[in-house]
A = this chain, B = another copy of it.
Amino acid sequence: MARIKTEKNLSRKDVIVSKAATLFREKGYKAASMRDLAESVGVEAASLYNHIKSKSELLHELVFSVANKFVLKLDEIESEPISSLQKMEKILRFHISEMINHYEEVYVSDREWKHLSDPYLSNYQNQRRVYRKRLAALIEEGIRIKEIKAIDAPTVVLIFLHAVSGIESWHRSTKKITAEELEQNMVAILIDGLKANK
């Protein structure tokens, strides 16, 4: 009888969630069927339900675990005694490294949250709005002390977040520069683009 093989410290549910992340990234949440998932896990579709409640549970577990991680990191960075621009750079670097090292989960969380259902959906949209506002506030602080050029803060946030999500293309590309180089390049363009002209 086929059995889900777990590595140390991982529950069978963890394995399923992780495979789901890959599948949701590849095909999108709606196009990925429970049968696809079962196959990739190596078991019959019905067997999955011994470990999870529903397909949608998979999505919201993925989405919220990623979202929580970013919120926690922002809490941490916000309280550090460094300048706004330095905070933005740290946040940017964190986004980049998460996107590189936890590609599947972050990508799914970014692109597939639309398919959450309430109350998760409104909840997520709320978290997202608050997160962006906090970033914008950081930028506005930088503008106030003339460290950052006078510019619309929400627009900066939007550029930052979406630029990072472009790392998707980097993942797919064959001739890759290294992760460090990628990070360095992104910081060079985006942070330099923010700096006030002195």
Question: What is A's interface to B at a CB cutoff of 8 Å?
Answer: 27-28, 30-31, 111, 114-115, 132, 149, 151-152, 154-156, 158-159, 161-170, 173, 177, 181-182, 185-186, 188-194
Contact = CB atoms under 8 A, between A and B. Distances in A.
Nearest to A154: B173
A89 to B, nearest CB: 13
Contacts of A154: 169-170, 173, 177
Contact of A159 (B114, B156, B166, B181): B166
Main secondary structure of the interface of A (DSSP, over half): helix
Nearest to A176: B154
Contact of A151 (B149, B169, B170, B188): B188
B159 A190 contact: yes
A115 B27 CA distance: 8
Contacts of A166: 158-159, 161-163
A198 to B, nearest CB: 12
Contacts of A185: 151-152, 155-156
Contacts of A168: 162
